[in-house]
Every structure is written in structure tokens, then in C-alpha cells.
Amino acid sequence: MKGRKNGFLLLLVGAAVACGQQTLYARPPGIDPPTDRDTIAWNNYFAAWEAADPEDAQLWIDRFNHLFNRSRHSVMVLRTAGDTEPRPGESPERLILQDSTGAEAGSLSERIEYDESLLARAVEAIDRGIALHPDRLDMRLGRAAAFRLAGKYDRMVESLCLLTDRAEQNKGQWIGADGTTAQTVTPKELIADYLQDYANTLFDALSSEPNDPASAALGRLAEREAAYCPESPVALNNVAVWHYTAGRPEEALRWFIRASEAAPEDALIILNIGHLYASLGNAEQARIWWRKLLEFPDKTYRRQAGELLERLDNAPAR
């Protein structure tokens, strides 16, 4: 039983947060960016821009991107044979090292790390921009994206909770990346189309360790989503899967049923409810839920439900 894997749209603050490249846009006339990596020159450039137009949203976006990219650096990770558990920021690609017999002796991979001081300055810059332009959705999502890339999931969720707080205040009325266009995002759309990629990051980061920080962050985000939009099946499903992965099947079942009430046509939720009832020893309720799938138009779910019901009927009595 897993969370959904959806390729939903994600707005970022420029391409820099997304791919680690510097992205600079319009600036006041007569103020040109440096052509090299001279830190003092860049600091003077942003200082001049701030003096000319301190409320320019793009100033704080570009300063954020510049500082965030300066904070990034790569390190090589040397592993022993059999050590394959990836760490936050680590590339999935590995160079396999072999001993004289040809057997695997270890591996080399690359991991991106972040300078804490520069990252803090980047966040300070985007926070200045958000304070001046609180309804810029791209700024708020860019802040969360930076923490996601840095593997700071608690700060990422903090950013997303602040975003939903603002969504409650502005009733889903956001300003587009051009600084003028109004953009309406409903609560269901915000959760499904903008926040779910962050939830999926946390699902992927879950571990079986006690006091797993990814699980704590996921629970905080999912519960905030459900409080913000109680009729969102995505939010309710996230809470359910979080409880299930944390070893609370009865609580997961309660939330899955709420999610099914919000989206009765969602076959995956129905499938999960049946699995939970079966795992809890309630075969009759599992049958009731899986039989619903026999009426669904998707033949894959009809076939799967038929196989599950047959297996349930042939299972020895407890």
C-alpha cells in the first residue's frame, strides 16, 4: 500500500532551484550582472539593484537563486559492498569498484550538499520577497523546493503549511510569475496539483527507523492538507497512507473510508480499503469493498478484484 505517484505541475522560483543553474531576469536599466563568479561583484550588483528598486520581486528571486546555487557543492561518497541505501541528495548512479577477483568491493557516487550559511541567506532573501509580495505562489513553492533539494523536510513542510495558511487568507487568489496576472487555485487543486509532489518526496524518504523524521514531516503535511480541504480525496488518502506506514491500520482504515466518500469513483482507494479489512481479519467487509470494483469500467481493476475475491474465498477459515 503506497501513496500515489503523480507527475503534477510544480511552480518553482526560476530554473535555478529546479536544475542548479543561475537564472537572472529583468533588472533596472544601467545595472548589469557580473560576467564572472566574483562574489564581491555579485554582492555589489544586488546591493545596487536593491538601492534602485527594493520592492522589485525579481530582485529577491534572483538573489535567492544566486545564493542557493552558491550553497550547492558536490562530494564523492565511497561505499562498501552491499551498502546501497541512498542518502538525501545522492545520485542514483554509482561507479562499481571491483577487487582482483572481479567481485564488487564497493562503489563511488556523488552527493549534493549545501553550505548552511549561504542557504540561510538564500532563504532570508526569498522571505524578503514573500513579505513584499505575499500572494506570489511561485516564491512560496520555490522556498519549499529549496528545502526539499537540501533534504530538510521539516523546513519544507513548514513552508507548505505557511503556504496553505496564506491560501486560507487570500481565498486561493494568487499572483502569477509575471507579477500582474491573477491566478485562481482552488483548495483541491492546490493539494493535488501543487503540493502532492512534495508529499511523494516524503513517501519516498520513509524508513523503518524509530522516530523517522520523514514520517513526522509527512504526518504534519497530510494533516494540514486535510484540515485545509476536508473534501480533498488526495489529502485524505495521504493521511490514510501515513497512518498505515506508521503501523496504525485501524486509523488508516478510517481515513481511507473518508477518502472514498470524497471520491467514490477512485478504485485505488477501494482496493486499499479491502486490503486493510482483509489484513485485520474482516473478510466479509473486504468482500463488500472489492465487489464494488467488479462494476468499474476499468477492466484491470475488475480482474484484480476478481482474483482477490477468489483468493479470499479459497483462504482457510481462521
Q: What is the DSSP letter of 193?
A: I
Dump pLDDT digits (tens) for 106-152.
877 777 889 999 999 999 999 999 999 999 999 999 999 999 999 99
Judged by DSSP in three states, 133 sits in: coil
Dump pLDDT digits (tens) for 208-267.
888 899 999 999 999 999 999 999 999 999 999 999 999 999 999 999 999 999 999 999
∠ CA 102-107-110, nearest 5°, is: 150
Residue 302 has φ and ψ, to the nearest 5°, of -65, -45
CA 238/CA 219 separation, integer angstroms: 8
Beta strands in 162-208 (DSSP E): 173-175, 182-184
Residues 6, 130, 181, 170, Cα dihedral to 10°: 80
Residue with cell 471520491: 263
Mean pLDDT over residues 273-301, rounded? Answer: 95
**What are the cell numbers at 154?**
521539516
b/e code 178-188 from CB counts within 10 Å (16+ = b): eeeeebebebe
Cβ partners under 8 Å of residue 304, min gap 6 = 271, 293
> Given this model, what pLDDT does residue 250 score?
97
pTM: 0.83
What is the gyration radius of the CA atoms in the chain, in angstroms?
24
Residue 198: how many CA atoms within 13 Å on its side-chain side? Answer: 39
Alpha carbon 82 to chain centroid distance?
29
C-alpha distances in angstroms, 90 versus 98, 112, 114?
A: 21, 6, 12
104-114 vs 182-184, strand pairing mode: unpaired
Residue with cell 492546490: 190
Judged by DSSP in three states, 215 sits in: helix
> Given this model, what pLDDT does residue 216 score?
97
Dump pLDDT digits (tens) for 7-39.
222 233 333 443 334 455 557 777 888 888 899
Dump pLDDT digits (tens) for 68-97.
999 998 877 777 877 777 666 677 777 878
Residue with cell 520523514: 214
